[in-house]
Amino acid sequence: MCGDHSRQSSGGALAVLSPPLRSTRSMSPTMAGRLTFHDCGKGGSTATHATFTPGDNDVSNSLVDLDSCVVGIHETGDLTTSAIISPFIYKFSMAQQSRILADNQQERSMEVSLAHPMKIEVGGEGIIGRRVTLWSQHDADPIAEGIIGYN
């Protein structure tokens, strides 16, 4: 198995978001960070909350901008097609009942309660292996994207 073996699993699902691979405009804003889907530490297989933690370089303005963002979870995990034409199975606003959490001085996160709980599993209605995009309500192109995996 590859990657960082020092990080402990904390359950739920995780998407590491990066600037999109494809964009129709060169000056579109971008964002990076981690989006976790969880049930607030209950250890279940259904996510009731989503938490966005900005990347190290995005801490200054990400949480302010995130309030106008929408998260879309696509039907597939295909990053080779444009996100604009890739159908969604779930969509939610990061502004819904949002609250900023300050776990410590160095890490700031924004958490939202999900109106529709999501299954943390592969296939069917599950979100594992699916593409996730973060969209600003002010732009046509996504500002970040990734694939959801187990956390």
Annotated domain spans of the chain: 13-150
Q: What is the pLDDT of residue 146?
A: 96
- Yes or no: say if 127 and 73 are a contact pair by the CB < 8 Å rule: yes
114-149 per-position pLDDT tens digit: 989 999 999 999 999 999 999 888 777 899 999 999
36-65 per-position pLDDT tens digit: 999 887 777 899 999 988 887 654 445 556
Q: What is the pLDDT of residue 4?
A: 47
Task: Compute the distance between CA of residue 49 and CA of residue 109 in angstroms, rounded to an integer.
Answer: 12
Tokens for 79? 């990053």
Task: Compute the distance between CA of residue 123 and CA of residue 52 in angstroms, rounded to an integer.
Answer: 24
Task: Indicate the fold that domain 13-150 takes in CATH.
Answer: Immunoglobulin-like (2.60.40)
Model confidence, pTM: 0.81
Task: Compute the distance between CA of residue 33 and CA of residue 60 in angstroms, rounded to an integer.
Answer: 13
Task: Compute the distance between CA of residue 55 and CA of residue 146 in angstroms, rounded to an integer.
Answer: 13
Tokens for 33? 């960070």
Mean pLDDT of 97-111: 59
